[in-house]
Copies of this chain bind each other. A is one copy, B any other.
Amino acid sequence: MSDTGERIFSQAVEDYVKAIYKLQNEGQSVSTTDLAKKIGATPAAATKMIKHLAENRLIDHTPYYGVRLTLAGERVALEIIRHHRLLELYLHQALGYGWDEVDAEAEKLEHHISEEFEERIDRMLDYPRTDPHGDPIPTRDGLIEPNRGKPLAESEPGETLMILRVRDSSPEALRYLASIGLHLEVVVRVKEKQPLDGALTLDVNGVTRSVGRELAGYVFVEDRKAREEVSVP
């Protein structure tokens, strides 16, 4: 009950921290070049920001060897991701945005909402755990559940699977997946798997569909049986 809702870090800082968080989630330490690429700036700009972040104890920096978030940095990242995912869900549920549209709008808003706003939409959505792509929403105090599911691309013929999560890659990919019936919670059965390119033939609600290996790598699933025990929280 002490802070008055002022933002502590600039939007740029928040963007970098968030980018580092995401890169860190596949591969231990984050390189300057990868970070620069993700942010859309030059490596030189990234280096300068890295110094700034390190001075503010948001990251540990071993020159020439990359960067890792400190605990403080992770807290900042998770707060922004919380904003982002709550906003995505809110836009979807309350304003009818499609799951391919929510990311762009949430990106614009995530740095600018107050704690009050966050709290209100959280309550309005009844304290949700996942966003419209099935990604977990961090809690107010910076905890996050692990990502759910294994890639559909790694499944084998005969398996019956439920879609739990879809990587929020491009709006086009999301729209295409939706168009062939691959939404969250949908159950699919794997009919065939091409031996060479890994393309899958699926049964989706009685309709036969094909997805290439790349797209199938964006869809995360869980064995049908495992799901029955978890049920509603």
Q: Tell me the A residues contacting B by CB distance below 8 Å.
A: 94-97, 101, 104-105, 108-109, 111-114, 116-117, 120-121, 124
With both beta carbons as reference points, the residue of chain B lying nearest to A110 in the complex is identified as B112
**Across the interface, do B94 and A117 meet the contact criterion of CB distance under 8 Å?**
no
Main secondary structure of the interface of A (DSSP, over half): helix
Q: How often does this chain occur in the complex, in copies?
A: 2
- Minimum CB–CB distance for A93 against chain B, Å: 12
**Across the interface, do A108 and B101 meet the contact criterion of CB distance under 8 Å?**
no
Give bound CA distance, A97 to B114, whole Å.
12
Q: Which residues of B contact A109 (CB under 8 A)?
A: 109, 112-113
**Across the interface, do A108 and B112 meet the contact criterion of CB distance under 8 Å?**
yes
**Across the interface, do B95 and A124 meet the contact criterion of CB distance under 8 Å?**
yes
Q: Which residues of B contact A116 (CB under 8 A)?
A: 101, 105
- Minimum CB–CB distance for A116 against chain B, Å: 7
Which listed residue, B97, B108, B121, touches A95 by the CB 8 Å rule? Answer: B121
